[in-house]
Chains A and B, each alone.
Chain A
């Protein structure tokens, strides 16, 4: 296994069986996969495609029916590999009777961290995920978004090299989603490796370097996001303040060169972009209705 390969799955297969050993479902079929150091790797696919199963196999929460998965060159069932891993499950499975501070302190104690480092790290992470004012409250009182954020904090408590995120933006509002995506990008900047699975295509597109597309347990596509998404026979030009005459001339050039004009006009922004702009402007000028009243 090369040094820059963090996760290596070979012929990884998982079959779920019932109590009597009869096959219920074949969740993963002979998956071959490599995740390299420093990249954001996305597992993409519809519900039941085997994304979460793959992550659970990497973590040793499930045992493969056949094949093998190595993480940092060690078998997935070797718990010592977890020293270098952080995991955010699909739902934040945390002890609701603990406060945010107690939660991070508890998980910190499971690593080789001195009390001083643990306390410092707890305070930093609580600050980083924006829960400083709620750090003494029990998690049962938290909203879904807050729970997600403390979940991410616990995944980062050991300053891991590899972070596994299962549906990281589930339950988050657009602001939370933006923050989460920014955090994931920041992790890459810090040299961390991130593996995330999601069925939200925009999330994956925004942050991932490479993706694997799974369908019914089978690997359908694997590669860099930019090259996978690139449409080779289409050229896209975005121009600001172009008058009608110039637009006409461009059309003529396209005709002369035997090109096919697909569309030309004013592009629309995304709803997410619009929402984020409104929130940002509202924070700058509270009380003002910023736009759109006329159209309503």
Chain B
């Protein structure tokens, strides 16, 4: 799994996000006030129009800040009751039927069965719940307006804000309840679907050390297990009869040999290692060129996917990750480094062998550097390296940081210095190579003319695993946030549009939300081919997207128009919900823990959208004639 989006720590994110939110809210408020004043002036004349606008703004403070929890709860209860009347429980029944028949088309014998199961339950849950909430939220208020039942409600001392909030809360509570039920069912489904055991085939067990036949049963044995779910395992037993069915399809089983009378039986446990939640500790990546001089990026090998930067092989070029929090408490036994590297070959070489890389550990304070591991980098798979706490490296030296400035640009360079005097035979990971939990890992490519491609998230230290069940819940939290946004948009649009139009508008926002990142990229001019007009010209003239258009009036007009359109596009894109970022099914399926930072950031993003949608919905309901 490739994680392209860098996880920004919450304390860094919150400042930027709050500022951004305030700016957007202020811009929206000013635009809203201007437009509503304009409409009021056009409809009622300047004096009355402005008077009405200020009256609405004045009363909105009381409406928004003096809501009665009792009334909001009554309206929430009504929304839930109304939804239940519409037989929403059918969705849960539908989900149960889906789970019952899922066994027909989900293959537990696939290479990564957990991914398959998790993707299935999360996807089906999100489709069902989001669709349900879309219909409920978009059609509820318009139905009340059509049947005029809302007349009886608004003639009570109910504020429009309470009506909007009551609806939102009602649907959110109902959706939450459904998600909890579906989540519990899904967890049981995944656990049961993947539960299996094997039998050890006694005749397949062979003594590892030749010549010890006489002592069979007390020496290491290797063999095969029976096939279940389209796979079988290699069996490895130690002298005491304990061992495991080796890793296949992302899991292993523990096995123990017991004597029952004259017979020897092998007890095989349930699969392990499959339902995990790795806790990756990410570092900051920087690059060194072939002179060990710091630079912004590695070599560009012409890959259109610019996510990775490349390290030149057979040189001093390196990718350097700076980690923090590398402490014995966090990594008690060993340091587990996991990497997913890209490989770029300028010549074929030995495909089976892989491209050789080396991992160097460096103390950022003292500069002490040890060669920890030489390894063949494999493409399309995760390389796992265990680094013991006590290291006995063959190569040890200092990499000293040197700064040089030509008056304008500061250059940072690292220079190798050999150890003079006493050289220890063994180095301690924490005592010698870390400084207050800080550690640098340098990755170099050893094969000349070959390249290793890296991005910041490609290497991480694996800390102690988190709970899979909790991670599974976090996956559902991602769906919950999407549901909240669907409800928010649905209710907001339904305050001034008819049910079907409100639904289409909500779907439009959701689709826009999925393409938000691309729209921002387009608006910022970060895509090839220019803005909409320039791209259109390129389509007509069949111009290459990377070549500049010929200078002239046409290009100037196109690019000026694009600049204006791109500003508008940026505003629209910023208003769209970042729905893709809420989708964390991949994290759960691929066994990565969803961090607390992620939960806090996305949770706050959802809350801020929900608040904004509530306020906008309130203003629409407040300014419309309910009985018209």
Contact = CB atoms under 8 A, between A and B. Distances in A.
B590 to A, nearest CB: 45
A158 B157 CA distance: 10
B43 to A, nearest CB: 7
B59 interface: yes
A106 B154 contact: no
B44 to A, nearest CB: 8
B85 interface: yes
Nearest to B43: A21
Q: Is the interface of B mostly helix, strand, loop or mixed?
A: helix
Contacts of B85: 97
B147 A93 contact: yes
B70 interface: yes
B151 A111 contact: no
B81 interface: yes
Given A61-B626, A62-B625, A109-B74, A94 B152 contact: yes
B263 interface: no
Contact of B627 (A62, A85, A106, A111): A62
A60 B42 CA distance: 22
Nearest to B150: A93
A82 interface: yes
Given A56-B627, A79-B157, A82-B156, A97 B148 contact: no
A56 B70 CA distance: 26
Contacts of A65: 44
Interface in B76-100: 77-78, 81-82, 85
Nearest to B48: A66
Interface in B142-185: 147-159
Contacts of A94: 149, 152
B621 to A, nearest CB: 12
Interface string B361-376: 0000000000000000
A83 B43 contact: no
A107 interface: yes
Nearest to B152: A93
B11 interface: no
A110 B149 contact: no
B71 interface: yes
B157 A82 contact: yes
B64 to A, nearest CB: 13
Interface residues of A, number: 35
A173 interface: no
Counting chain B CB atoms within 10 Å of each CB, the highest count among A62, A82, A109, A154 belongs to A109
Interface string B16-54: 000000000000000000000000001110001000000
Contact of B81 (A87, A97, A107, A158): A97
A61 B625 contact: yes
Interface string A172-187: 0000000000000000
A59 B627 CA distance: 10
B628 A93 contact: no
A226 interface: no
Contacts of A66: 48
Given A62-B625, A78-B59, A98-B81, A93 B74 contact: no
Contact of A63 (B71, B74, B625): B625
A112 B154 CA distance: 15
Contacts of B626: 61
Nearest to B77: A106
Contacts of B70: 109, 112
A89 interface: yes
Contacts of A106: 74, 77-78
Interface in A146-171: 154, 158
A59 B157 contact: no
Given A61-B626, A110-B71, A95 B155 contact: no
Nearest to A56: B627
Contact of B148 (A21, A59, A77, A91): A91
A94 B155 CA distance: 13
A270 to B, nearest CB: 34
Nearest to B628: A62
B59 A59 contact: no
Given A62-B625, A78-B59, A93-B149, A87 B71 contact: no
B146 to A, nearest CB: 10
A158 to B, nearest CB: 8
Given A21-B43, A56-B627, A95 B149 contact: yes
A80 interface: yes
7 contacts: A62-B628, A83-B157, A89-B152, A106-B74, A107-B152, A107-B156, A110-B158
Given A82-B158, A87-B151, A93-B150, 6 more contacts: A61-B625, A62-B625, A62-B627, A75-B55, A93-B151, A111-B157
